[in-house]
Amino acid sequence: MYAASVNRTGDVPERRSRKARRTRDALAQAAFELVLERGVRHVTVEEIAQAADVDRRTFSRHFPNKEAAALDAVRGGGDRINRALRARPAAEPPLTAYRRAVLDWLDDPGAEPWHQRPRIFELLVMAEEEPTLYAAYHHIRVDAQEESVAIIAQRLGVDPLRDIRPAVAVAAGAGALLAAQAAWVRGGRPAALPEFVVHAFDALSGDLQESPQDGSAPHSTTQGSTS
């Protein structure tokens, strides 16, 4: 009987965590839909909270602002890249590990391809045009990159405050990813992000021999390339 009581008590934090996750997901989805429907300037935090059936205070426990809520799926992408980066073989050079982590994220068999999620492409197009949304997008990228630096520093067994190599590897890899995403948004082909990513990482190694002169992703590129 005592053991059963302990088990029930132990379940409470887990239930609370699941409830908080559901609330956060509902807020993120409401923000995502409202921002795409009206534009970020014409949506209030109160409207997002109401759509998710919570109050303003609950919203503030999960997100600092409406832009962060709308872009929560993008933050999830950064988290998945870093999980993939932690799982890469220790012998891989840092930039190779980062590149392959990005491609693992885009080709995760256990999840819907991020770049093909309904309307995520539209949100990133909007982020290019809306300053407050772009600022939130930049903040999310910086957070993800800082975690990537820590992961690579751990892989190398170095202090990232004293050894510049982890930061250099992440700056190069994240820069290639950002360039690929920008080209993807401009290119108007929602399914083409993996092509742009491979092309961008190839450019880091000077592999531009087969690249179109306009810098667009070659249609014949495969994800299996390595740096």
Q: Rounded mean pLDDT of 83-101?
A: 96
Which pLDDT does position 225 carry in this prediction? 43
Regarding the domain delimited by 2-66, which CATH topology (the fold level of the hierarchy) does it fall under? Arc Repressor Mutant, subunit A (1.10.10)
Neighbours of 199 (CB within 10 A): 25
Mean predicted lDDT score pLDDT of the chain: 86
| Distance separating alpha carbons of residues 188 and 76, to the nearest angstrom | 23
Which pLDDT does position 210 carry in this prediction? 53
Which pLDDT does position 226 carry in this prediction? 42
CB within 8 Å of 128: residues ≥ 6 apart: 134, 182, 185
Which pLDDT does position 8 carry in this prediction? 56
DSSP 182-211: HHHHHHT-GGGHHHHHHHHHHHHTT--TT-
Condensed to tens digits (0 to 9), the pLDDT of residues 182-220 reads 899 888 777 788 999 999 999 988 755 554 445 455 554
| 3-state secondary structure (DSSP) of residue 213 | coil
Q: Which two tokens stand for residue 166?
A: 């982890």
| Distance separating alpha carbons of residues 30 and 53, to the nearest angstrom | 10
| Distance separating alpha carbons of residues 190 and 138, to the nearest angstrom | 21
Matching fold, domains 2-66 and 72-204: no
Domain coordinates of the chain in residue numbers? 2-66, 72-204
pLDDT above 60: residue 48: yes
- Asked if the 72-204 domain carries CATH number 1.10.3720.10, the reply is no
pLDDT above 50: residue 167: yes
Which pLDDT does position 223 carry in this prediction? 41
**Higher per-residue confidence, 2 vs 144:** 144
| Distance separating alpha carbons of residues 24 and 64, to the nearest angstrom | 12
Neighbours of 95 (CB within 10 A): 20
Tell me the backbone φ, ψ of residue 223, rounded to 5 degrees. Answer: -75, -10
